């Protein structure tokens, strides 16, 4: 269910919060129970949430790669 209250700033959402809201928006859009202007508003919010999730996942992947790179040990295979 989509809340009518003012949505939280996307840039302040954690991955889990953004993903949960995105899933809620997908369900709402699939229900076909909204007028066109509301549907477009939900779609735009969904796009913004999707980009936020992508950025957070990319940052997490980069962090993992950096951590793995710092802890790699050279092993000679004979």
Query: Containing domain of residue 64, as a range?
Result: 10-68
34: left (phi > 0), else alpha (psi -120 to 50), else beta?
Answer: beta
Confidence of residue 7 (pLDDT cuts 50, 70, 90): confident
Q: What percent of the chain has pLDDT over 70?
A: 82
Residue 75 resides in a domain = no
Residue 42 has pLDDT above 70, yes or no: yes
Taking the C-alpha atoms of residue 72 and residue 40, their distance in angstroms, rounded to an integer, is 48
Residue 33 resides in a domain = yes
Residue 37 resides in a domain = yes
This prediction has a pTM of 0.76
Residue 4 resides in a domain = no
* Number of domains observed in the structure of the chain: 1
Q: Find the CATH number of the domain harbouring 42.
A: 1.10.287
Q: Indicate the DSSP class of residue 5.
A: S
Residue 18 resides in a domain = yes
């Amino acid at each position: 269910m989509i809340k009518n209250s003012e949505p939280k700033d996307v840039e302040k959402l954690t991955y889990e919060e953004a993903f949960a809201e995105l899933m809620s928006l997908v369900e709402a859009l699939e229900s076909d129970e909204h007028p066109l202007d509301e549907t477009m508003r939900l779609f735009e919010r969904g796009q913004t949430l999707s980009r936020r999730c992508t950025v957070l996942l990319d940052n997490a992947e980069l962090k993992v790669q950096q951590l793995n790179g710092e802890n790699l040990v050279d092993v000679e295979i004979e």
